[in-house]
Copies of this chain bind each other. A is one copy, B any other.
Amino acid sequence: MPRAGLTTAAVVDAAAALANEIGLPNLTLALLAERLGVRSPSLYRHVNGLPELLHQLALRGVDGLAGAMAGTSGLPALANAYREYAVANPACYAASQRADPRLDEAATRALAPIFALIASYGIPDTGRVHAARIIRSALHGFVSLETTGGFGLPDKLDDTFALLISALETGLQSAPEHTRHQ
């Protein structure tokens, strides 16, 4: 019997692809093993169980998001990069949204482009955390609803997203006055 020649990276790759196809909640080690032409206990040579595999997918999601946003400049470019990554990798994106202390470091890195953007808006220090949360809320909310089919008909979603971005820009520019109030 020939070997499958798996590696940790190959297993996580396959898991990401499979989860993106069938949805993260439907990802099972049994399915993944079948897809890889292997029995499920064999996966434990490369990945330390399902929770660990999910953590790897989450890491991939956070890093992928960070990489997608890293090169951008301006809110529209950043927002489009965020959305494109999430739509192309819905399972990794979903995995990355689970709270996990081991993700903190990568998450901070992923947030850097957002904070850089905020700084360029001239928002005072005291308002930056708020601004970052607002941007994340808008982007995550839209992307989450889009990838889970939460919007009814996906008609003209691109237009909605463009409007969301411009509303966000307008809203953020009006924010500094408010943030000084607290």
Contact = CB atoms under 8 A, between A and B. Distances in A.
B141 A163 contact: no
Contacts of A35: none
B133 A145 contact: yes
Contacts of A139: 141
Contacts of A169: 171
A52 interface: no
B148 A97 contact: yes
- Identify whether the interface residues of A are mostly helix, strand, loop, or mixed: helix
Number of copies: 2
Interface of A: 97-99, 104, 127, 129-131, 133-134, 136-142, 144-145, 148-152, 155-157, 159-160, 162-164, 166-172, 174-175, 178-179, 182
Contacts of A131: 163
A178 B150 contact: no
Contacts of A163: 127, 130-131, 134, 175, 178-179
A62 to B, nearest CB: 12
B174 A156 contact: no
